[in-house]
Amino acid sequence: MSIARRPLKRRQVLSGSAAGAVTLASGFAAPAIANTEPIKIGYLPALTGPSSSTGIGINRGTQLAVDEINNAGGINGRKIELIVRDTQSDPTKAVNAVAELTQRAKASVIWGPLNSGEALAATPLIARDKVPMLHPCWVDELIDVKKYPMAFRIAPTNTQVGKGANHYVVNVLKLKKVAVVSDTTGYGTASVNTYVPMLKAMGAEVVYTNHVDAANPDLKPELLRMQSAGAQAIMPWSVNAGFLSRILNTRGAMGWDVPVVGQTTLGSGQTKALLDKPENWNKVYSNNFRNCCYVSGKLPPRAAEYVERLKKAKIEFGDTLLWWVALGWDGAQMMGETLKAVGPKAEDIVAYWNKVKGWPGIYGTVTWTPDQHNGFPDEEVVMCEVNSLKDGAFNIAPGYAS
Amino acid sequence: MLESIVSYGLAVGAVYALIGITYNVMFSASRVFSFTAGMLGMLGGVLGALFINKWGLNAALGFVLVLVCGAVLGLVTEVLTVRPVLKSIEQHLYVLSTLAFALMVQQVTAIEFGTEAQPFPLLIPIDANSIMGIVDQKFWLPVLACIITIAGLEFLYRRTLIGRAFLAIAEDSYAARALGLPETRLRLASYAIAGIIGTLAGFTGAQMLLAFFGNQSILNFYGFVPVALGGMGSNRGAVIGGLALGLFQQAANFLVGGIFAAVAVFAVFIVVLLLRPEGLAGAAAARRV
């Protein structure tokens, strides 16, 4: 008997495999989760790659909080299982990890991504899969209750960060003539375009503003123009340590003691390494957070008690920043408390978060409403003295009422 | 102001000129514009900081090692990205192959070395109050490197037999091969020399430009401008073009500032090319018909 062989058509193959998939799915349907099974939290830190320093700091706090919760008996008898996927500072890897965490691992909630670049790529996908998401990224567009109703932020926005710096210059230092500069990156130009109108609305006179090529090795012309325009403070918006250090070095070489107020990179180790003299870091104030700054040599009580706990758990934080570690702890603690209160169902978690009010974190006090998923209060964004780093924390900048 | 324009302008201009010469040396040997010139410049700074700051080698040893790495990278560039596409040079595939190689190296540098600019060590311990310390070494080092390079190349090309062989290959590779010159070996040697010059530019300019992976694209572009201005293949043109570009850029920086300085540079570049497409020092190419 001969069998006529007909070539398989593409459509037949596809329908066949679809049928197979249905059979498999129904055959191996997941059993109802027993109450002792761990609750899964999908976690997307960048632990390697160029943006990993933040992720490594946050990770220490997150791991500590999860260990504390699990050692204390877990969530109503169920352990938390942190499913970690290192995004390697790469948005593509973050996107792939989201699919794995939400669709295959069935995580109840996602913590991260911890960097804005990856969060911009991952957030729409997490929203599509309808999984509650908590993140600490600053880019304003990442929170939108209409587009991403299940996404919540446990950190300030870029607007709040700029507002904090503007408040310090205009209301605390009482300086009215300000020079605002940035590099030519998207972040730099967007920051200047957002913060300059805010400064003007506060009554400051923006005497000089410009976007400067960060690769320009000589910034003396820029600073001379700022000086002749009568600037009393320089506000550079850039995450480029080379650019920022050139501003500080040029200011030092000119012998101009104008304060420099801006973003956290001003106080980073990379910027410090590029300074011609350590004195060039004097009168430089960068963004920080009230709960994690020394006031008269002491940390606020919540943070001080937390530092003791870190020391007891032998968690290293002198080589990173206290606020990163505290932020990691806050995120995991917030998720732990939520799961304990309402369980792992997505809509219950979102409903619970929509009502969080004045939650006392180590890093910040969180308040969310159904219309506002940015949880960080303006008044906790402060400036710090960049040359005062000790045990991962800075002195609050001079002039704030304690 | 004038002092700042001259010191920064000449120093940056010398770096651009050296990168321009790097392009030229590779172009003369192969008729290929290898976009690895900026990569070599970037690596001069990055490898220098790595060897001296991180590994703790002394400056002289670090310098020699950087140049050796430059020469090796030059050889690799020739073998991997130029030789395979030489047969179909009219399709200009070298643009793709050299640029892809340069980008790969840049990405690896970013991953291994970091994306932040890093400090470059003071190379020569000079007392700032001595006569030698009047002008910062970050300004005169690239200028000195440029002078030595151009003098060395002139000597090589005009006074030595091997240099004349290089010129013969550049002039007419078919005729040179017919005369029995080892074209492949000479091309390899040219790429090694280009590697040394490129990393020399980056190494001597790094106190000013810092050790930063992002310098690659800037050097690739600003190093190409003097080549276009000065005439392709003309090293003297590249030096004049590079120094003029540095001075003009710095003057524009003072006069208009910010991103407008870059716009001013591009505007002049385009105007010069419109007026003299063959470059300031280049001769209009005669085409045999």
**Percentage with pLDDT > 70 across chain B:** 94
Q: What is the model's pLDDT at position B255?
A: 85
Pick the more confident residue, A72 or A22: A72
Average pLDDT over residues A353-375: 96
- pLDDT digit string (tens) for A310-343? 888 888 777 788 999 999 999 999 999 999 999 9
Chain B residues with beta carbon closer than 8 angstroms to that of A225: 257
- pLDDT digit string (tens) for B186-201? 999 999 999 999 999 9
Chain B interface, mutation test: which of A208, A216, A226, most B Cβ atoms within 10 Å? A216
- pLDDT digit string (tens) for A79-116? 999 999 999 888 899 999 999 999 999 999 999 999 88
Distance to chain A for B208, nearest Cα, Å: 6
* pLDDT of A402 strictly over 70: no
Q: What is the model's pLDDT at position B284?
A: 58
Q: What is the model's pLDDT at position A19?
A: 44
The encoded tokens of residue A181 equal: 């500069």
* pLDDT of A28 strictly over 70: no
| Three-state SS at A362 | coil
CATH topology of domain A159-294+383-396: Rossmann fold (3.40.50)
Q: What is the model's pLDDT at position B232?
A: 81
CATH-assigned architecture of domain A39-157+302-378: 3-Layer(aba) Sandwich (3.40)
Pick the more confident residue, A390 or A133: A133
Residue of A nearest to B118 (CA): A274
Cα–Cα distance for residue pair A122/A82, rounded to 1 Å: 18
Q: What is the model's pLDDT at position B112?
A: 87
* pLDDT of A2 strictly over 90: no
- pLDDT digit string (tens) for A187-220? 888 889 999 999 999 999 999 999 988 878 889 8
Please list, residue by residue across A96-110, b when 16 or more beta carbons sit within 10 angstroms of its beta carbon and e when fewer do. Answer: ebbeebbeebebbbb
CB-based contact B218 A215, cutoff 8 Å: yes
In this complex, is the C-beta atom of B250 within 8 Å of any C-beta atom belonging to chain A? yes
Distance to chain A for B6, nearest Cα, Å: 12
Distance to chain B for A220, nearest Cα, Å: 8
Cα–Cα distance for residue pair A304/A116, rounded to 1 Å: 29
The encoded tokens of residue B88 equal: 């179909």
CB-based contact B215 A217, cutoff 8 Å: no
Cα–Cα distance for residue pair B178/B16, rounded to 1 Å: 36
Of B12, B119, B253, the CB nearest to A274: B119
| A313 Cα distance to chain centroid | 24
Average pLDDT over residues B233-258: 88
The band of B132, judged by pLDDT with boundaries at 50, 70 and 90, is: low
Distance to chain B for A214, nearest Cα, Å: 10
Q: What is the model's pLDDT at position A50?
A: 67
Distance to chain B for A270, nearest Cα, Å: 7
What is the value of pTM for the model shown? 0.79
The band of B87, judged by pLDDT with boundaries at 50, 70 and 90, is: confident
Chains A, B: CB contacts within 8 A come to: 58
Distance to chain A for B201, nearest Cα, Å: 15
Average pLDDT over residues B139-146: 94
CB-based contact B110 A50, cutoff 8 Å: yes
Looking at A14-28, B25-39, B235-249, B251-265, which range is the least confident one?
A14-28
**With a CB-CB cutoff of 8 Å, which residues 160-219 of chain B face chain A?**
208-210, 212, 214-215, 218
Cα–Cα distance for residue pair A134/A113, rounded to 1 Å: 9
| Three-state SS at A242 | helix
Cα–Cα distance for residue pair A248/A264, rounded to 1 Å: 14
Distance to chain A for B111, nearest Cα, Å: 6
Q: What is the model's pLDDT at position B257?
A: 77
Chain A residues with beta carbon closer than 8 angstroms to that of B215: 215
Of B12, B117, B258, the CB nearest to A242: B117
Amino acid at the residue A215: A
The mean pLDDT of chain B is: 89
Interface of A to B at Cβ within 8 Å reads 49-50, 184, 210-213, 215-218, 220-222, 224-225, 240-242, 245, 270, 273-274
Residue of A nearest to B1 (CA): A221
Of A218, A270, A274, the CB nearest to B250: A218
In this complex, is the C-beta atom of B106 within 8 Å of any C-beta atom belonging to chain A? no
CB-based contact A221 B257, cutoff 8 Å: yes
The band of B289, judged by pLDDT with boundaries at 50, 70 and 90, is: low
The mean pLDDT of chain A is: 88
Cα–Cα distance for residue pair B242/B227, rounded to 1 Å: 8
The band of B167, judged by pLDDT with boundaries at 50, 70 and 90, is: confident
- pLDDT digit string (tens) for B10-32? 999 999 999 999 999 999 888 88
CB-based contact B117 A210, cutoff 8 Å: no
* pLDDT of B80 strictly over 70: yes
Of B118, B253, B261, the CB nearest to A273: B118
- pLDDT digit string (tens) for A255-292? 999 999 998 889 888 888 889 999 999 999 999 999 99
The encoded tokens of residue B115 equal: 């994306």
Chain B interface, mutation test: which of A181, A218, A224, most B Cβ atoms within 10 Å? A218
The full set of domain ranges for chain A reads 39-157+302-378, 159-294+383-396
| Three-state SS at A233 | strand
Distance to chain B for A158, nearest Cα, Å: 21
CB A358 within 8 A of CB A351: no
Average pLDDT over residues A357-381: 96
Nearest in space to A384 (alpha carbons), one of A178, A158, A165, A234: A165
- pLDDT digit string (tens) for B29-76? 888 889 999 999 999 999 999 999 999 999 999 999 999 999 999 999
- pLDDT digit string (tens) for A211-246? 988 878 889 889 999 999 999 999 999 888 889 999
Cα–Cα distance for residue pair B282/B209, rounded to 1 Å: 30
Question: Any idea which residue has 């080549």 for tokens?
Answer: B227
Q: What is the model's pLDDT at position A390?
A: 87
Provide the pairing of β-strand A260-262 with A151-153. Answer: unpaired
Tally of CB atoms within 10 A around A224: 17
Average pLDDT over residues A36-64: 88
Q: What is the model's pLDDT at position A345?
A: 94
Q: φ, ψ for residue A338 (rounded to 5)?
A: -65, -45
- pLDDT digit string (tens) for B220-240? 999 999 998 888 888 888 999
CB B233 within 8 A of CB B29: no
In this complex, is the C-beta atom of B148 within 8 Å of any C-beta atom belonging to chain A? no
The encoded tokens of residue B218 equal: 């800037």
* N- to C-terminal Cα separation, chain B: 53
